Structure formats: C-alpha cells, structure tokens
Amino acid sequence: MADPSPQPPPSASTQLPLQPLQQLAALTELETPSVAPSVAETETSGPTATATPELISAPSPAVSYTIIVPSFSAWFSWDEIHDTERRLLPEFFDGKSTSRNPSSYKYLRNAIISKFRSQPTSKLSYTEARRGLVADVGSVRKVFDFLEEWGLINYTPPKKGKEETEARGALGKKDESSGKRICTSCGAVCSLQCFTTAKANMTLCAKCFVKSNYQRPGLSSADFKRVDLLEEPRPDWTDKETLHLLEAILHYGEDWKKVAEYVASRPVKDCIARFVKLPFGEQFIGPKEEHNGYTEQGGGDADENESIKRRRLSPLADASNPIMAQVAFLSAIVGPHVAETAAQAAVSALSNLGANEATDLTEPCVSETNEELDEKLYSTPCCSVNGCGSDLSNCRDYHRRHKVCEAHSKASIVLVGGQEQRFCQQCSRFHLLSEFDGVKRSCRNRLDLLNFRRRRPQSEAVNTSLSSASHQDSAVGEPVVSAELEIEEEEQELEKSFSDIIEVQMKEMQEKLVRFEEMDVIMARERLQVQYLRDLILPDQLAIAQHQHRLAMMARENVSTWEKLRSTNDVIDRGTTLLL
Amino acid sequence: MPTKESLIPIHLDLDLDGHRYKDAFTWNPHDPDSQVLSFAKRTVKDLKLPPTFVTQISQSIQHQLAEFRSFGGQDMFIQEKIVPLKLDLRVNNTVVRDTFLWDISNFESDPEGFAVTLCNDLDVADPEVAPAIAVAIREQLYEIATQSVSAVKEAKLGKKGRRGYELSKGGNNALDVSRYFGSKGSGVIRKRKDWYMNGPTVDVLTNEEVGTLEELNSRFRRKLDEKEDSFQQG
C-alpha cells in the first residue's frame, strides 16, 4: 500500500487527552494525491476541537478503496516508529521486559493494521486481531487499543462536510455492494437467504450452507443464523410504479404474474404487498355511517379491488354482536353502492326520528346547553358540590365547564343535591353512586361502551353512531358536543394509562427491593458459614504447628545428644590414648 | 519459567448453554489483574457469547494465574538440561507434529520466535497456528518447571536431611545426551531409526476430516465423563 510520507506538522485537532505536545499547525492543504478536494476546515483551536479527517489515498491492489486516516495520525508510517508511539506505549521501549521490545511492537502494529485494511469496511474486533498473533494477549490489547484510539484501525470518518460525501460515495458504494450479502465462500450474491455467523464474521448463501462449505472447520451448523433477505432490497415505490401497478390490476385482475410483468421492476410478492398497503379512503370522509369502513375501502380504488377487500372484510362478519354480523353480511352481499345509499337513508331516517321525538326537549336543551356553555366559560362559576363553593376560575376549562373543582372531580363520594354521587369522568357529570362499580371513576354504562369500542376498532364509527342513537341524552343532532365529550374521554384515558404505567413501575421497584433484601440476608448467612468453617480449621492448624514444633524440638534434641555422644566419644578416645 | 520472560499459557475450554468456547493464549503475569475482567468482557462481546461467560472466563484465568504465582519465587533447580519437546496440535485445518530438543538452562530461548520461524519456514498458511505453537511450547516448559520445583521441594523435605539434590525419576526427563545420539563417535548425528520422528510434519486437512476428528474427540470425551461419573458414584 502506498502511504504518504508522514506530514511534518501533525495537526493538533484531537479529541484525545493524551497528546501533551502543542504542535499547532493548520493543515490546510495536502500535497498527496487525494480523491476529493482536500478539507480546508481544520480547526486548531485546541484540545476541544473536533478532528476533521482528511483523505490519504492508499489504494490496495485488490480493491480500489480509500483508507481514511484521521489527520492527527498522519505521522504513521509502516517502517518507522514515531515519537508518539514511543511516548504512549513506554513499556515497549524501556527495555524492562524482554517480550515487549520495539521489534515486537512493530510486528504487532503492522500485523493488526494490515489485518484491518484487508477488510476495511468491517470493524476489526480485538479477539479477531489477537488470533493470528504470536504474543501475549496483554501486549496485543495495548497495541490494539492504541491503534483504535488513534484511528489507525476501525476508523470511519464522521459525516460532515460536502467533501466527505464524495469519499463516502466511494465508501457507500462499497458498503452497498457488501450490504448486498455476498457469500464469502462462493462469491455469489445471496438473494433469498443467507446464513451468518458472528464467530467468524462469515456470510454464506443457502447453497454453500447446505454443502457445509465452511471456511473454518471450527464452526458447526448451529453457529449460523438464518437471515431472510426477501424484505431487504425494498426501495420505495415511485408514483409511476404505483400507477403502473394500478393499471395492471385494472387490466389483469388478480393475475399477479402478469401484473408483475407489467410493472417492470418488481417481483410478484412486492406487487401484492404494495397493493395491499395502498392507502384508500382519504377521499371519502363522509359522515360516520354504519358501513363507513367498508365503503371507504370499497370505493377507494378500482372495482377489481373489491374481491380482495371482501376477503379482508370477513373478519368484520365475525362479530360477536349479531346485529353487526347481519349488517356486515348483508352489505357484503349487496355491494358497496347499494349499501352506501341504504345506510345514508337509514341514518337520515333515524335522525329525523330522533329529532321529531325530542323536538320539544332538544330545542330547549340545545339552547340550554349553549347557554350553559357560555356561562361556564365566561363567568366565574363555583363547584356544584354541596358545601364546596370553591372558586373555579383557576381551574382548567374542563372543570369550569362542568362546575366541579379538581378535588371533587376525583372524589369517590360527594354530596350533590342532597344525594351521594360521583363525578363520572367519561360523561363529565355527576351520577348516583349506584351507577359506579367499585372505586371506578366512570359510570358503568360508559365503561361498557368504552370496552366494547376498544375491542372493535373498525366498527368504532358504527358503535358510536349506534350508541349515540340509543342514548337519548345526546341526540344525533348534536355532533359538536359529542365530539367534545370524546376529546375529554381520550384525555381521561391517557391520564389513566399514565397512572397505570407508573403503578406498574413502582411495583417493579418494590419487588426489586424485596429481592435485594433477601440477597443481603443470604449473603450474611454465607459469611457466617465461612467464618464458622474458618474457626473449625483453626484447631487443625494449631495441631500441625505444634507437631512441627515438636519435630523441631526432637531434631534439636537429637543433635544435642549426638553432640554429647561425640564429645563423650572424644573423651573416651583421649582416655584410651592416655592409657596406652 | 526457564525463559527470560515468563508468559503464562492459559487454556480455556468452557461449555455453557450450548456455546462452546475453546481458547489458548499467553498471558503476561506483569499485567495487573484488573485486565482479566476487561479481557473477559471484551472477548465475550466480540464473540457474542452469553454474558455468563464473563465470570467463568475471568475465574478460570485467575485460577491459572494463581497456580502459576504459587510456584513463583521458588528455586528451580536447573542443570544444564536438554529436554525434548513435542508438538501435536490441530488448529483449524492444519495439523502440526514435531519433536525437538530445547535447552532449558538457556534463558534466552524464545518460544514465540521459534513458533513464528517454524510457520514461516514451513509456509503455514493459517496465521492462527503460530500462537498455538507458542502456547504449546510454553505449556511444556511450564510443566517441566513445576516438576523441577516440586522435585526440589521433595529433596528439601527428604528424610535424610542431606544436602544432596537427588532428582526423582519422574522429574528427570533430561537426557543423557550421549545416549540419545549415536554412540561411539557418530557424535551429533542421530540414529537412523529416529530420524523420522524428529522432523516437523504439517498436514492440512480437509473439512470432512476435521469434522470426523471432532466427532471422535467429543465421543472420547463423553466416554471419559461417563467413566468419571460412574467412578465417583461407585
């Protein structure tokens, strides 16, 4: 690899706290042949400046790829050891240990860097690096950490500046092609599935995996994970393609092969998936009718969609509510247009009925509610609970509108009008206590409605219309008030769910605390046990020490007796010689 | 360790939760023990092993380090001894077999350099062979060192209390050099029948052979385990 000669004044732009030397020099231009125009923005203001990488082109023979080295590591060269290295890895250069010497350092450094550069796109892990190196793992780790910190390995330039995009363009293409999953053993492009193993960083196509053609026999089939690639190459559908798709569907109906042919670039499954996901019904924001869901979907696109959509509607027919089932069934049979007109007629009839019945009541009601609304918003009301005349001008609109202070809106029992009541958060009024289950803050009717509504989101519109039709309180002719009610309901739901979440988390914490306490107890017990064991061993140790002591004593005695014998021997000898 | 720098050979062979981790490398005893844990964490992260491995790996490494250190500071009685070392290892696809003589009293000897040179000279393609060779050599040296240390201990505690060192038979794997080589005057040339044994052989196996070898190994290991279990129970 051709590396440029080390740039004389290395830039001081560095994020590392390790560099004590203050070599301030602005590297504004490089004389090296670079692929992109050199970066002119080099900040040299000091240690807080971010590093701006510059391009040092080092094309390797096999792949024309630019290895990018940050400017603060421009001193690097293959054949020499720079001062920086000497300073930062002193243990290799001080001669204290024999296995760490300059030549071994160089060997390690060059080996690691060449290993990284053989596969510049993938990050070289420490374990991979130390595998092929003959050295103790501590030294490898030191060199590896040093190189990684200085960006000589595992370095990808940060994404900023137009000059970078060019470099990244070159990089990116390589990435994409490598992201397209080329099998490492046979080199084919894996389209359907590939099998990856993290242990050796390999990707095999299905054929090679079946053949068990692993590069390294240390791997077994269990090490491989399967990755399905069907979803991966999925660029977005352009408008043109969508148009083609729709035309094709119009022509060919459900013959997906022909449709895929017509839409040039997409396989069959993509076509189907895209078609199913096409948005419908934005054009059809009609009044909330019974068959709203169905008509939206049915009328939104070409008629050929009907057959498919019908199949998707069958879940609607599976309604526990027998009326809904009937309705869905009938509408499915009859067809969208007829159903639409029928529904419209039905609803208008209903509303007329409702209006007629309640004309006497609704009109003053309407006017009353309007008045009340005005009152509540613009005057300073008081809470309607008996005995609580708190001023509500500081509370939210909601409280003012319904004439209840915050405390009493959440109280379980309040006295209103001489009766025990509770404020229902859904209806936003007081109900008799008997209407509530337990400590719930919404009356039974509303809760049932809610749960029912929640269980069937696609017939939500239907239910609200049905329920509103059946609830004589809010007749069909008051959409505004019902909308407001629903908004408030949503708010309440949100608050409730928040408090639920918090409760659950608190419970979690409590349980953790309990468990930790238990662990503490266990630890204390074990500590006691260990101490006990230690105490047990103590007498044995003492016995051994005594024994040894005794042995030593005996040995000394032996020696002394021996000495005595020797001396007596001497005396006897001398005596005999004297005698003789 | 009869080398200038003692690098401790560490073996790891862990099997947890269906993940098998087998490794052999050298550890520098001068590195602080805090490195053990960070090394374990890094390895587990790089190889994407389950996190239970971290404690296992660090415990195993520390155990082996402690063993080594327990021998430290004790006299190793080293005469001028030339010891035959054997290599018989399989790394991925390469099998290396070799027997050679090693001079323990020469503290300048360098297992790492030997390994690198061997691989270069024999054109071994796989770069992972060299570290394995270095670790194997160090292991054997370590064995010899511990044996000689225990021999010295035995001698010190010997009943006679004499000051003569008698190396027990087990620790004496030094060779009478003259007997080893041809007698009488052929001097430094080996006996012909020993020639084949002492050269290095490097075989490259295909993947199937490796697969069968592994199977045999695991079967053997399983049998050993069974025997152990039955022995313990019995």
pLDDT tens per residue, range A428-473:
888 888 888 877 888 888 888 777 766 655 455 555 555 555 554 4
Q: What is the pLDDT of residues A300-321, one digit of tens each?
A: 444 444 455 555 555 555 556 7
Count of Cβ atoms closer than 10 Å to residue A256 Cβ: 17
Distances (CA, A) of B212 to A15, A217, A223, B205, B216: 52, 11, 18, 11, 6
- Are the CB atoms for A453 and A462 separated by under 8 Å? no
Tokens representing A385 are 């609970």
| Residue A203: strand pairing partners | A196
What are the chain B neighbours of A138 within 8 Å (beta carbons)?
27-28, 30-31, 35
Question: Collapsing DSSP states into helix, strand and coil, what is residue B19?
Answer: strand
Answer whether 0.80 is exceeded by the pTM: no
Count of Cβ atoms closer than 10 Å to residue A4 Cβ: 17
Closest-CA residue of chain A to B44: A127
* Of A463, A471, A467, nearest in space to A327 by CA: A463
Q: What's the mean pLDDT in A320-343?
A: 81
Q: What is the pLDDT of residues A345-356, one digit of tens each?
A: 988 888 887 666
pLDDT higher than threshold 80 for residue A558: yes
Could you please report the per-residue DSSP string of B131-152?
A: HHHHHHHHHHHHHHHHHHHHHH
What are the chain B neighbours of A217 within 8 Å (beta carbons)?
92-93, 205, 207, 210-211, 214
Please give the Cα distance from B80 to A292 (Å, whole number): 99
Of all residues in chain A, what percent carry a pLDDT higher than 90? 16
Does A222 lie at the interface with B, CB-CB under 8 angstroms? yes
Closest-CA residue of chain A to B108: A98
pLDDT class of A486 with cuts at 50, 70, 90: very high
For residue B127, give the nearest of A125, A132, A212 by CB distance.
Answer: A132
What are the chain B neighbours of A130 within 8 Å (beta carbons)?
25, 131
Q: What's the pLDDT score for residue B232? A: 74
Q: What's the pLDDT score for residue A496? A: 95
Please give the Cα distance from B98 to B199 (Å, whole number): 6
Q: Nearest CA to CA, how far is B145 from chain A (Å)?
A: 19
Could you please report the per-residue DSSP string of A122-157?
A: SPPPHHHHHHT--SBHHHHHHHHHHHHHTTSSS---
For residue B25, give the nearest of A99, A137, A212 by CB distance.
Answer: A137
What are the chain A neighbours of B43 within 8 Å (beta carbons)?
126-127
Lowest-pLDDT choice from A107-116, A161-170, A216-225, B208-217: A161-170
Q: Nearest CA to CA, how far is B208 from chain A (Å)?
A: 8
Question: Collapsing DSSP states into helix, strand and coil, what is residue B4?
Answer: coil
Q: Nearest CA to CA, how far is A223 from chain B (Å)?
A: 9
- Phi/psi at A423 (nearest 5 deg)? -85, 115
Q: What's the pLDDT score for residue A210? A: 72
Tokens representing B220 are 């053997």
pLDDT class of B165 with cuts at 50, 70, 90: very low
pLDDT class of B189 with cuts at 50, 70, 90: low
Subunit contact B5:A98, Cβ cutoff 8 A: yes
Subunit contact A134:B116, Cβ cutoff 8 A: yes
Q: What is the pLDDT of residues B130-161, one digit of tens each?
A: 888 888 888 888 888 777 777 777 777 764 44
pLDDT higher than threshold 60 for residue A165: no
Chain centroid to Cα A186, Å, comes to 34
The more confidently predicted of residues A100 and A315 is A100
Residues 6+ apart with CB under 8 A from B45: none
Exposed e or buried b per residue across B66-85, where buried means at least 16 C-beta atoms within 10 angstroms of its C-beta: eebeeeeeeebebeebbbeb
Count of Cβ atoms closer than 10 Å to residue A133 Cβ: 26
Q: What is the 3-state secondary structure (H, E, C) of A390-455?
A: CECCCCCHHHHHCCCCHHHHHCCCEEECCEEEEEECCCCEEEEHHHECCCCCCEHHHHHHHHHHHH
The more confidently predicted of residues A68 and A4 is A68
Q: What's the pLDDT score for residue A470? A: 54
Q: What's the pLDDT score for residue B47? A: 82
Please give the Cα distance from A92 to A104 (Å, whole number): 8
* Of A35, A40, A43, nearest in space to A15 by CA: A43
Q: What's the pLDDT score for residue A1? A: 43
Q: What's the pLDDT score for residue A52? A: 40
- Are the CB atoms for B138 and B111 separated by under 8 Å? yes
pLDDT higher than threshold 90 for residue A503: yes
* Of A149, A144, A156, nearest in space to A113 by CA: A144
- Are the CB atoms for A43 and A28 separated by under 8 Å? no
- Strands A193-197 and A225-228 turn out to be antiparallel
Q: Nearest CA to CA, how far is B143 from chain A (Å)?
A: 19
pLDDT class of A257 with cuts at 50, 70, 90: confident
Please give the Cα distance from A433 to A389 (Å, whole number): 21
What are the chain A neighbours of B30 within 8 Å (beta carbons)?
97, 138
Q: What is the 3-state secondary structure (H, E, C) of A273-285?
A: HHHHHCCCCCCCC
Tokens representing B155 are 């001698």
Count of Cβ atoms closer than 10 Å to residue A389 Cβ: 11
Closest-CA residue of chain B to A95: B5
Q: How many residues does chain A have?
A: 580
Closest-CA residue of chain A to B43: A127
Subunit contact A127:B39, Cβ cutoff 8 A: no
Tokens representing A141 are 């780790």
Q: What's the pLDDT score for residue A230? A: 52
* Of B3, B62, B76, B55, nearest in space to B31 by CA: B62
Please give the Cα distance from A65 to A168 (Å, whole number): 11
Residue spans of beta strands (DSSP E) within B4-81: 8-16, 19-27
- Are the CB atoms for A376 and A403 separated by under 8 Å? yes
- Are the CB atoms for B10 and B64 separated by under 8 Å? yes
| Mean pLDDT computed over every residue of chain A | 70
The more confidently predicted of residues A487 and A141 is A487
- Strands B82-91 and A193-197 turn out to be unpaired
Q: What's the pLDDT score for residue A431? A: 82
Does A97 lie at the interface with B, CB-CB under 8 angstroms? yes
Subunit contact A99:B28, Cβ cutoff 8 A: yes
What are the chain A neighbours of B131 within 8 Å (beta carbons)?
130-135
Please give the Cα distance from B55 to B21 (Å, whole number): 13
Please give the Cα distance from A467 to A460 (Å, whole number): 10
- Phi/psi at A55 (nearest 5 deg)? -90, 125
pLDDT class of A522 with cuts at 50, 70, 90: very high
Of all residues in chain A, what percent carry a pLDDT higher than 70? 57
* Of A133, A146, A6, A154, nearest in space to A79 by CA: A6
Please give the Cα distance from A370 to A383 (Å, whole number): 19
Q: What's the pLDDT score for residue A541? A: 93
Q: What's the pLDDT score for residue A39? A: 36
Structural element, H or E, at residue B215: helix B207-233
Instruction: State which amino acid sits at residue A386.
Output: N
pLDDT class of A529 with cuts at 50, 70, 90: very high
Please give the Cα distance from A263 to A248 (Å, whole number): 7
Q: What's the pLDDT score for residue A565? A: 93
The more confidently predicted of residues A208 and A57 is A208
What are the chain B neighbours of A216 within 8 Å (beta carbons)?
92-93
Tokens representing A554 are 């005996």
- Calculate helix-pair angle for A336-357, A322-334, nearest 10 degrees: 130
Does B89 lie at the interface with A, CB-CB under 8 angstroms? no
What's the alpha-carbon Rg for chain A, to the nearest Å? 43
